[in-house]
Amino acid sequence: MSPITRGLRSLLAGLSLLGLVGALHAVDLSLLKEATPAAAPVAAELTPDAVAAQRTALQKELATTRAELGKLPEGKLDETALWLTQETAMLERIDNVYLEQQRTLQHAADLAKEAAEVTERTQARRPPEVSLKPPYGVQLLDQLYAERDYLEQARGWLKTDVANVTAALAEARDTLAEKDRARRAAREALDKATDRAKAQNALRLAELESRLAQETVKVREQALRTLKLQQSLLEPKQALLRPSFDWLRAHLVVADEEIAAARIRREKRDAELTAALAIAKVDADKTSRLVIAAERRTSGATPTDELESRRADRQTANLTLGVLAAQQERLDEAEKVSDLRLRVLAGTATAAEMRTWDETNRADLERMANQRKLQLADLEKSRAELQDLQGRLSRATAGGEPQPTWTVDRTRRLQAWLALGDVEFADFENLRTERLRLKEELGARVSSFSWKDTIAIWEQRANAAWNYEVFSVTDQPVRVKSILAVLVLIILGRFVSYWISALLGRAVFHRLGFTTGRRAAWQTLSFYALFLIVILTAFHLFHFSLTQFSVVSGALAVGIGFGSQNLINNFISGIILLVERPINQGDVLELDGQQVTVQELGPRSTIVRSRDNTHMIVPNSRLLEQPVTNLTLSDDVVRKKIKVGVAYGSDTRKVDRVLMEVMLGHESVNRTPAPHVQFSDFGDNALTFEAQFWSRLAERNEVETELRHRIAEAFAKAGIVMAFPQRDVHLDTLKPLQVEVVAPKQA
């Protein structure tokens, strides 16, 4: 082909394409705006006539190119043959796209007719009793079930398809933009090229690639519009189906003829399964004999391919027997499910029966879901093995190699097994569909509210929960009621133990003459003993024995030693404090330089209160491991000292006598031991005396304050001077002292 001829053909093809594009319909901007980005190029909407005209023109162009390619000498591989081959392949790809456009347009036309029918049915909606054709039995109900389920599944399928086509459309538009850039670059290269024939060929291929990309965008846009139209029909179809479905379930008529026909179908299917099972048994016996023969030929050596194949055949034959037997059982199960559906739809079942059926049916559906996964896995494994065997047989046939008998037998057996698996899977899905419909029909009736049924359900559930076995000990069940009884026993036992121990403290220990601290200690010990009885009773309810803890005593001791050392140390210290009673409730202690009163001896810590009415938590181990001053261990009488300083020159005997008179004159000062005055020291500024006396600890502050008042009054009356600090000041008089009087500054 000459460059001039090729250039004229390119020009005519471009003009033809422009004419066809101008003849296309207007663009559906609203739909394209939803499906594509705003910056994407917008293609014209397709029409059947336009696509047919484009394809006719393309066929002529393709025929011309093929004719030119046929004129070339055979076996000649030059540049012209290469270009013509590429052009022919590109034109064929464009023709395939046109064919896809025609199929998409035909589908869209069918959907448009369907949409018109749906619109007409929606506008002129007829009552269900008129639109449905008798007999109004289970078979018609199952047809409506199937149509409803298909519409529900189609919603998910179409959503996925729309997403995929949207992504494909975006990719096609990117490809179109890329091919248009390549086409424009090829046109620019033609103007600057020295070899114009080669440049024109490159431009021709670039134009064809751009044309292919443009037509691909059109078909993707049309496919997206078609899918969205199909999506828009789902809701009106469901709206038309819903009244018929509800009416038929409410007016269902179960005819004897329909029941008899279903029974005949089941009997026929059972007979087929019985015959297939007999054949499968014969085949299994034959396979076993083949395995034995292969094992004899092997005679203990490494298993050959034949032996492995025969063993796999035997396993498949046994699986076939199991599947056929399972199909017979499933046939009986399907009959029971159908009978339950008939009773539920006829309204002859009680609420209790339907609740029981509903629970059993839900459990069976969960079981079937697990079986379904295993079936799919087995089928995929068998299909992979069959593909591998078929590939090996094909390669062997192509190479002229002999085909082993066992390989051919294995291939036929796998094919039969997969066919049986497909039937098994279909039967399984049919039974699962029946159970799903039974679940829906039961749910519509079980969910209806009734006070009587609700109370009965809750009583049944409460009784089941009350007697539910949580775990077992020594083969004895521990139920929920036992756990709740133990919890109630521990809570009430704690309060009862505390109340009895307090009663013992008030009524028994007080009458026995126990002191407050001793009474509190025995009251706490009695509480521990009573609560220990409660804990042992709880162990009995749990069927625990103390001998059972001997097995884990070593590990328990190690755990206590490392993990609960401080806790156990404080607890044991508390027991020792209660038994030895070095510290009692109400005792006054000296801790951290302050006096505190013991308020409560606990199992882990002791609560004390300071003079400032603040409370402090002291671990019991501290009271035993560190020195603690107990001011009231044996009694509450303590010795106090009041220091007094008098001036030098005072009569010391008189001071001694006055202090003794003051202390003996106070009624709270104990006479035994007697008060005492000690001349303690010659101080820097005073003669120091100490007035020592004994009094009750609770009155010590008031006694000290009153004695100080009386000492001051007695010293004033006796003419004794209280000393105060004195300092001697020495002035340097070797030179005159200068004295200045300074007037205060005015404000």
> Would you say residue 14 has pLDDT above 50?
no
pLDDT digits (tens, 9 = 90+) for 676-695: 899 888 888 889 999 989 88
Average pLDDT, the chain: 79
Q: Could you tell me the strand order of the sheet in which 637-646 lies?
A: 637-646, 687-696, 676-682
| CA gap 120, 698 in Å, rounded | 105
- Identify the pLDDT of residue 450: 55
For residue 589, list its beta bridge partners.
596, 630
Rounded distance between C-alpha atoms, residue 496 and residue 493, angstroms: 5
What's the average model confidence in pLDDT over 178-189? 90
The phi and psi torsions of 619 (rounded to 5 degrees) equal: -60, 145
Q: Find the range with the poorest average confidence among 264-273, 466-475, 598-607.
A: 466-475
Q: Tokens 């020295």: give the residue.
A: 194
Other Cβ atoms within 10 Å of 174 Cβ, number: 13
Summarize the confidence of residues 410-428 as an average pLDDT. Answer: 86
* Pick from 33-37, 187-191, 408-412, 585-589: least confident: 33-37
CA distance 577 to 633: 13
Looking at mean pLDDT, say which of 72-81, 468-477, 482-491, 619-628 comes out highest.
482-491
pLDDT at 216: 93
What would the two tokens of residue 16 be? 């033809």
Q: Rounded CA gap, 705 and 642, in Å?
A: 10
**Three-class SS state of 614:** coil
Poorest-pLDDT segment among 5-14, 477-486, 725-734: 5-14
The full set of domain ranges for the chain reads 3-248, 254-451, 637-718
pLDDT of residue 742 exceeding 80, the answer is: no
- How far apart CA 121 and CA 304 sit, in angstroms, is 69
Ramachandran assignment for 740, one of left (phi > 0), alpha (psi -120 to 50 degrees), beta (any other): beta
Paired sense of beta strands 588-591 and 476-479, if any: unpaired
Q: What is the DSSP string of 253-291?
A: ---HHHHHHHHHHHHHHHHHHHHHHHHHHHHHHHHHHHH
Specify which of 75-89, 582-596, 710-724 reaches the highest per-range mean pLDDT: 710-724
pLDDT band at 556 (very low <50, low <70, confident <90, very high): low
Q: Which pLDDT does position 12 carry in this prediction?
A: 31
Q: Cis (ω within 30 of 0) for the bond into 127?
A: no
- C-alpha atoms less than 13 angstroms from C-alpha of 52 in its C-beta half-sphere: 5
Is 214 in contact with 176 (CB distance < 8 Å)? yes
Q: Which CATH class is domain 637-718?
A: alpha beta
- Tally Cβ neighbours within 10 Å of residue 16: 16
Given a contact cutoff of 8 angstroms between Cβ atoms, the answer to whether 211 and 204 are in contact is no
CA 435/CA 334 separation, integer angstroms:
9
Tokens 């248009």 found at: 180
Least Cα distance to 219 among 172, 182, 178 occurs for 172
Q: Tell me, what amino acid is at 72? A: L
The DSSP code sequence of 518-575 is HHHHHHHHHHHHHHHHHHHHHHHHTT--GGGGGTTHHHHHHHHHHHSHHHHHHHHHHH
The number of angstroms, rounded, from the C-alpha of 580 to the middle of its chain's C-alpha atoms is: 56
Give the model confidence (pLDDT) of 139-162 as tens digits: 888 888 888 888 888 888 899 999
| Mean pLDDT to the nearest integer, 341-365 | 85
Q: What is the greatest pairwise CA distance in the chain? A: 158
pLDDT of residue 464: 79
Cβ neighbours for 666, distance < 8 A, ≥ 6 positions apart: 703, 706, 707, 710
Query: How does DSSP classify residue 696?
Result: E
* Residue 595 · residue 547 · CB < 8 Å: no
**Each residue's pLDDT tens digit, 73-86:** 776 667 778 888 88
Measured CA angle at 263 (ends 261, 264), to 5 deg: 65
Over residues 198-225, mean pLDDT? 90
* Block residue for tokens 């001077």: 721
Note the pLDDT of residue 178.
94
Give CA–CA dist 661/714, Å, rounded. 9
| Tokens of residue 493, six digits | 């036992």
Strand partners, 590: 595, 629
Percent of the chain with pLDDT over 70: 85
* 474 has pLDDT over 70: no
More confident residue, 548 or 522: 522
Residue 17: closest CA among 6, 9, 7? 9
For the stretch 296-335, pLDDT in tens is 877 655 567 778 888 888 888 888 888 888 888 888 888 8
What is the rounded CA–CA span in Å between residue 315 and residue 5? Answer: 71
Asked whether residue 31 carries a pLDDT value surpassing 60, the answer given is: no
In the sheet with 605-610, reading across from the earlier edge strand, the strands are 615-619, 605-610, 594-601, 588-591, 629-630
The share of the chain scoring above pLDDT 90, in percent, equals: 10
pLDDT confidence of residue 719: 87
Kindly state the average pLDDT of the residues 227-236.
90
Which pLDDT does position 217 carry in this prediction?
93
Of the pLDDT bands very low, low, confident and very high (cuts 50, 70, 90), residue 411 is: confident
Chain centroid to CA 214: 48
* Distant-in-sequence, close-in-space partners of 451: CB < 8 Å, separation ≥ 6: none
